[in-house]
Amino acid sequence: PSMSSTAADSLTFWCTCPPGLEDLARDEALESLASFDVRSVEASRGRLVCNIAAPLADGDSQNQLIRSVLNLRMPANHFLVFYECCPFDLSESLDRLIDLVPQANWQLAMSAWRTLFYEPDGRHSEIQNVGHEPLPDYKFTRSKPYQAGDSQPKLQSSEDPSPNDQAPSGPKVKDPSKLSFRCTCYRAGSGHSFQSMEVAAAVGAAVQDYFGWNVDLKNYDIEVVIWIEGPLVRICLSLNRLCMDFRGQLVDVGSTALRSTIAAGMIRLCQPRSGEIICDCMCGSGSIPLEAWTTHQNAYHLAGDCHPVAIDKCAANIANWCQRWDQRSPVELIRWNLCQFPVRPGTVDVFLADLPFGKRLGSRRENASLYPAALSAMAKSCVPVTGRACLLSADRKNLSRAIKLMSEYWTIARTIGVGIGGITASIVLLNRTATTKSAASVVAPGAKSD
Ligand SMILES: C[S@@+](CC[C@H](N)C(=O)[O-])C[C@H]1O[C@@H](n2cnc3c(N)ncnc32)[C@H](O)[C@@H]1O
């Protein structure tokens, strides 16, 4: 088996990303990390694994690399791998997994942790040891020896790993001079004779014994993640406190708010250029315009919605964003009915729209008239030839019908299926044709206003 506490001259990052957007996420990683020596970026369902050269002795360049990986826009969770082994026999007992704890590269994990999370004057002022030295008397003994089949574990074979966390069975009294941690296990594939919870509990107990750290599932300092995929075992450090799906940039989130990670993918597909006008014409709480502004500050940003509550939410999110970064409002926010779009013909370079799916918002019947009307209005205000529109909807039937109806003005450049909370939606990138469209020929249905 190939076994390593990770190669001394490279770092491996495991990132989760929206299922379906892996290729876009890989392109982003290759482009954004181009100044580093990227050895490989592998994309598979819902995740990226990046291996990047980084001499262990050079702490500064390692820190810079970790921060650059954290700045990627499409991953939602980032993990640094500090032990991996493949193939690892997972068919019999957990003992061999527990034995991996002392073998892992804790020096690497704790150095990354200190870079990102250590607050010597704040939360960690009482902590006596933030290093990677184990307790001198470490010897892990299981309180109840595990027997294969003990709790009749059910094999889990889901494609998407599901997390499971467990408090190791250890002393309950917390020592305030010690760091706190939690252990989480993600598991996919078959052939495992135990459940994720058992792995988290057993490895967590071993880590607790090894360092004497406190277990705290909520207020933890460190999250140790065991990632098991078929015969592959990786031990990782979680690099995020907060899942980056919303990046904490939305304080007022509507029920249909779009994840910023998916918004990032839509924006990337459009390849906005400096000076272009980018418009989210159905902005809801505003995750697309805030993401677009963050990544394309040299463009001009317009956003609007027909619903007053959506406008209030979007305004609150923009205001919070401005306060956080001490900036003036980067987005022009207007209440409008897209079907009577108030912008001069041929002015918008990039339209982005997260359309009502017709389930939680609107209905499929309303979509049948809203979608062609929206595409018609966008065609009027979009710059012919170079203009683009990127649309997202799970109502794929009405979307493709509307695109066919408006094919004089739009051609499909790319279609991607993306998983959103258990449903598959389509992201479609459209290019504007050269045909000009007069205001008089805009299709005008009853506009959706809730
Ligand atoms: C799926 S939601 C958008 C969610 C948004 N991306 C977010 O992050 O919150 C669709 C939005 O389209 C708006 N909408 C529906 N019909 C519209 C129309 N004719 N003109 C403008 N906005 C419209 C709805 O009010 C709703 O806020």
Per-residue pLDDT of 377-388, as tens digits, reads 999 999 999 999
Angle at the Cα of 177 (from 176 to 179), degrees rounded to 5? 85
- Any ligand 1 atom below 6 A from CB of 310: yes
Query: Residue 139's pLDDT is what?
Result: 72
| Cis amide prior to 87 (ω within 30 degrees) | yes
* Contact status, residue 28 vs residue 73, Cβ threshold 8 Å: yes
CB atoms within 10 A of CB 386: 13
332-361 pLDDT, tens digit per residue, is: 999 999 998 889 999 999 999 999 998 877
Ligand 1 centroid distance, CA of 315 (Å)? 14
- Tell how far the Cα of 357 is from the centroid of ligand 1, in angstroms: 10
Do the Cβ atoms of 29 and 50 come closer than 8 Å? Answer: yes
* pLDDT value at residue 156: 35
Which of 251, 305, 335, when mutated, tests ligand 1's pocket best, judged by the most ligand atoms within 8 Å of its CB? 305
Residues 356, 358, 359: CA angle, nearest 5 degrees: 115
What are residue 44's DSSP bridge partners? 47
pLDDT digit string, tens, across residues 282-336: 999 999 999 999 999 999 999 999 999 999 999 999 999 888 888 888 899 999 9
Best-predicted range by mean pLDDT among 168-177, 320-329, 426-435? 426-435
Domains of the chain in start order, with CATH, are 2-238 (3.30.2130.30), 260-441 (3.40.50.150)
